[in-house]
Structure 1
Amino acid sequence: MRRRTLLRRSGALALGLSTSVLASSTADSPVATADSDESYEPLGRVAVDGAAEAVVGDAGETVYLATTTGFAVVDVSDPADPSLRFEEASIEVDGDPLLEILDVKVDGDRLVVPGPANESSNYPFHGFVCYDVSDPGDPEPVDEPYETGFHIHNCYLEGEILYVVANGRSENPLVVYNVGDGIEEIGRWSLAERDPGWKDVDWRTRYLHDVYVHDDVAYLAHWNAGTYLLDVSDPGTPASLSHVAETTLERTLEIEDDTEARLGLPGNDHYAAVDETGDLLAVGREAWATGGAEPDGPGGIDLYDVSESTAPELQGSIEPPAAVDESYEAGLWTTAHNFELWDGVLYSSWYRGGVNVYDVSDPTSPRALAWWRDPKTAGFWTARVAEPGETFVASSTPAIPNAPTDGALYTFPLAAGEQTEPPSLLEPDTAVPEGESGTPTGRSETGNAGDADGNRKARDPSLSVTARRRAVGRRSRSRDRRRRS
């Protein structure tokens, strides 16, 4: 594809608002424990218009955010007082705007800004722009903007190699670029070639939503097709290693409603990432209640042992927070979104369900450590470690339909604790005005494992992937019987 000329707009500065929390260490917890006299609260907050994905720079003091029409740089060196250091409010390429920027990625001094995130003929330019961020307060374009010809929902940058999800109606490949000295496509991997049967389903149901790379293995969250592990030791020739899935091609083909297949469980592999050892994989599922067969409701997070990358083994699961309305159009949105695993801890975002921190040092028995939410102002897109052992950050997005949430970046302590009187997710006044009430059953508002009060237990971690598929098959047959009746 041809390269095009970038037109730059202005940068801006802003101040942050902050609150504080005290913490003390304990020997039996992977994070500190909040002082008993203190509520678990954010350390700080700074408004960021249009915020979506957030990533942390190598030094842990700088956060880069996608902001729909551009990107922002936030200084978190003082987590109690984060500040907006730079903002590119608008990016133009040959006079055409780069729009719907929902993702950015950084590695070292290189930042990649892709877009648009979704298919639309209204967006003239489809591609990405690379920046030199050796001075985070003054990013400079590197090379000319690169036009791909397809929308880019997400990408991953590792050194000079850029992995891009490329979705189209005919196929949904992973495309690999070298962006070190100029920009050049060097490789591809395609689900349509590995499992051609998936070409028979709606392209959005087999959507390649995200890619994560660690130690020469790429993890592809491929919606209902599952999550694929690829060997990318030679990034020009990605090769399949293994695959985990909540559903099957056959099951997906049986669903008559494409909307239900895209929005409802099982399936919906949305985001996948491993910890720093590469041994523990988490797969988040973005889903909503559709009125279909069980399971029906928001998506949670599954944990897999991938110490042997060719033979993943399911370990445990984390349930989403329950909400008064869990539908897509008018619901509260408490499904899993983006997260990070580090040193036995999972830092997770659940849109208006808040941020939750889990001890996953024993992945067969995840344990909630801390959670915080404010569903009337914050809808969390992602959670990322800033300073290991000290702080993490989470971005709030205004992009949730019919929701009053603000664009912002929050900083949090790595401390175990509870929010004092957290806003309920089960009260009708929490939902958007046009939402239908109806308290769901079987899950707690914090998304913990089941308990003696009747909340649903997390799925049996001893179940193998094969056993899980058999369970899906049983649900499918039960659903078919209801349809025939």
Structure 2
Amino acid sequence: MIPTDDSWTRRRMLRQFGTLLAGSSLAGCAQVKDESRERQSTTTTTSSTDYDPSDVSLRKLGQTYLSAGPPPGGGFSEVSVREDGKYAVVGTKWGTSGTFLVDLGNRNAPKRVHFLGNSDNAPNLDVKFDARDGLYHRAIEETWPGNFEVVDYGHSAGTPTNPTVVGTVSDGKSHNVKPHPTEPVLYTMNYGLETNGFDVYDVSDPTSPRKIGSHGPQGAGHDINVDSKRELLCCAYQSGQFIGFIIYDVSEPRHPEEIGRFDYEKQKPYDDAQLGEEAFGAAHHGHFDPQRELLVFGDERPQGIPGGKHVFDIGWKDGSPENPIPVGFTVSPNAQHMTGDYASRFDWTGHHFDIVSGEGATLVVAADWHEGTVVYDITDPTNPHPVDRYPTDDGVNDIALNGEVKQLGSPPMAWKAVYNDARNLVVVSDVFTGLYTFELTPALK
């Protein structure tokens, strides 16, 4: 049953008029923000799958500051959720060095299980669960020797409350890491202009990762995602010899082979575009649509016109993995020109997101920096548009931010959103205010 409360009726009318204006209409987007505050104390439920996907809403379930004691100081980055939805792991930067394991058993009350620091005070910016229970990987992004580490929290040597680092790679420097979803293979991003985009490691033995090879053009390789069903990998390149993304065949996960690419430098740059107009630059990361032959790719820009989200046809109609074709574009709900001063860098650009796919509907849940958490409807890939938003600044007055993280400006600053299908759970990390859990109502089936 679709809810019939007045706030829902107003939201639906606003969305319908906003969509008529344009898929990325700034007029329609602004209305999303107005309603998000109104909904923070509203619970919406339904038992039907017969609904307009643009009527799906975020409902906050819980939050944790992640601190061992008051006051929390911020400095949080990536988040990864285990496939069964029972644990999350959170990375750090800006004055906080280490990783947090969080128990998600009670969706309404996420609970910190451990904090694992490191002796060199280097940030563990990215974290990812391994396909094997009891292991996660954490990148070490700093000038001291240290590329990534393998943490055992229950696989063999450690436990959830007493984790231990069992494997370390000291050469190179990883910005992001990505385990293969089914094989003991780890892809690590080289965020340097004189290195290839990414490396491949065999992590069959977690205590002794073994480098197999390097791939991609030289430059700042930023992020990787893998679709194990299609046996495809997409990799973002932000600067250097190539800017854009490359699609690889990973039918042999240890030996990726390039099959297609999309060159941003052949497209209109953001500096030549108007706010909300499709443009290309600073390729950040992408996700394959689980159900359709589409690839969603986001751009992240620190200043000027903010980067948006593109939808690419890779087989849906005229495109293919060898020849991706852009068919849709949207910007965040309150997108505006960014001045470039440190306190407002990245504010309105897109950041890390995930795709939620159901029968006849597809959504993107995103952590879009100063926007907080945003839901986009991409059911029609030619008309992607934001439909809901939750500012992740709850409890900010109770936080004593450390000096480094204050440089990022003011909350919210949402870093990453992850969707867990097993539990209809959206997990979001905010640099300032910690970890949030949400559900989508009604849930896509």
TM-score of the aligned structures, taking structure 1 as reference length: 0.65
**1:354 Cα offset (Å):** 1.6
Match of 1:153 in 2: 175
The residue correspondences of 1:64-213 to structure 2 (distance < 5 A) are 64-68=89-93, 69-88=97-116, 90-92=117-119, 97=120, 99-107=122-130, 108-109=132-133, 110-116=135-141, 123-134=143-154, 137-138=160-161, 140-141=163-164, 143-148=166-171, 150-158=172-180, 159-181=183-205, 182-192=208-218, 206-213=219-226
Counterparts in 2 of 1:218 and 1:139: CA distance versus 1, 3 Å: farther
Counterparts in 2 of 1:413 and 1:134: CA distance versus 1, 3 Å: same
**1:389 Cα offset (Å):** 6.6
Instruction: List gaps (5 residues or longer) in structure 1.
Output: 1-17, 193-205, 256-264, 291-296, 398-405, 418-485
**1:232 Cα offset (Å):** 2.0
The residue correspondences of 1:311-322 to structure 2 (distance < 5 A) are 311-322=323-334
Matches of 1:302 and 1:235 in 2, distance apart?
Answer: 26
**1:388 Cα offset (Å):** 4.5
Q: Which amino acid aligns with 2:175?
A: H
Contact 1:20 1:80 in 2 (8 A): no
Larger radius of gyration: 1
Match of 2:402 in 1: none
- 3-state SS, counterpart of residue 60 of structure 2: coil
Contact 2:248 2:259 in 1 (8 A): yes
Counterparts in 2 of 1:115 and 1:26: CA distance versus 1, 3 Å: same
The residue correspondences of 1:344-423 to structure 2 (distance < 5 A) are 344-374=362-392, 376-388=410-422, 390-397=424-431, 406-415=432-441
Contact 1:269 1:285 in 2 (8 A): yes
Deviations, residues 37-77 of structure 1 (Å, cap 9, x unaligned): xx955221100342100010021121111123111011222
Q: Which amino acid aligns with 2:248?
A: L
Contact 1:221 1:272 in 2 (8 A): yes
**1:396 Cα offset (Å):** 0.1
- Could you say which structure has the greater relative contact order, defined with CA pairs below 8 angstroms and 6 or more residues apart? 2
- 3-state SS, counterpart of residue 175 of structure 2: coil
Deviations, residues 268-322 of structure 1 (Å, cap 9, x unaligned): 10111213347221111001443xxxxxx11110011223322222221111233
Match of 2:407 in 1: none
Contact 2:85 2:423 in 1 (8 A): no
Establish whether residue 304 from structure 1 lines up as the match of residue 312 from structure 2.
Answer: yes
Contact 2:54 2:377 in 1 (8 A): no
Establish whether residue 23 from structure 1 lines up as the match of residue 45 from structure 2.
Answer: yes
Contact 1:210 1:270 in 2 (8 A): yes
Contact 1:187 1:238 in 2 (8 A): no
Matches of 1:22 and 1:287 in 2, distance apart?
Answer: 35
Give me the CA root mean square deviation: 2.9
Contact 2:306 2:336 in 1 (8 A): no
Deviations, residues 188-231 of structure 1 (Å, cap 9, x unaligned): 21314xxxxxxxxxxxxx42111111122211110151010011
- Partner of residue 53 from structure 1, selected from 54, 74, 78: 78
Contact 2:300 2:351 in 1 (8 A): yes
Contact 1:20 1:44 in 2 (8 A): no
- 3-state SS, counterpart of residue 287 of structure 1: coil
Instruction: List gaps (5 residues or longer) in structure 2.
Output: 1-39, 67-73, 272-278, 394-409
- Partner of residue 262 from structure 2, selected from 239, 244, 247: 244
Contact 2:84 2:422 in 1 (8 A): no
Contact 1:325 1:331 in 2 (8 A): no
**1:19 Cα offset (Å):** 7.0
Counterparts in 2 of 1:348 and 1:416: CA distance versus 1, 3 Å: farther
Contact 1:31 1:389 in 2 (8 A): no
The residue correspondences of 1:252-263 to structure 2 (distance < 5 A) are none
Matches of 2:377 and 2:414 in 1, distance apart?
Answer: 20
Matches of 1:299 and 1:241 in 2, distance apart?
Answer: 26
Matches of 2:350 and 2:92 in 1, distance apart?
Answer: 20
| Residues matched between the structures, number | 347
Contact 1:47 1:408 in 2 (8 A): yes
Matches of 2:108 and 2:252 in 1, distance apart?
Answer: 42
Establish whether residue 331 from structure 1 lines up as the match of residue 373 from structure 2.
Answer: no
Deviations, residues 324-363 of structure 1 (Å, cap 9, x unaligned): 6613324260110000112122111110112111222221
Counterparts in 2 of 1:173 and 1:358: CA distance versus 1, 3 Å: closer
Q: Which amino acid aligns with 1:302?
A: H
Q: Which amino acid aligns with 1:144?
A: G
Counterparts in 2 of 1:324 and 1:238: CA distance versus 1, 3 Å: closer
Contact 1:226 1:247 in 2 (8 A): yes
Match of 1:287 in 2: 301
Contact 1:321 1:335 in 2 (8 A): no
Matches of 2:42 and 2:426 in 1, distance apart?
Answer: 14
- 3-state SS, counterpart of residue 296 of structure 2: strand
Establish whether residue 221 from structure 1 lines up as the match of residue 236 from structure 2.
Answer: yes
Matches of 1:318 and 1:356 in 2, distance apart?
Answer: 12
Counterparts in 2 of 1:26 and 1:288: CA distance versus 1, 3 Å: farther
- 3-state SS, counterpart of residue 370 of structure 1: strand
Matches of 1:346 and 1:288 in 2, distance apart?
Answer: 22
Q: Which amino acid aligns with 1:246?
A: Y
Contact 1:126 1:151 in 2 (8 A): yes
Tell me which protein shows more strand as a share of its residues: 2
Matches of 1:232 and 1:361 in 2, distance apart?
Answer: 27
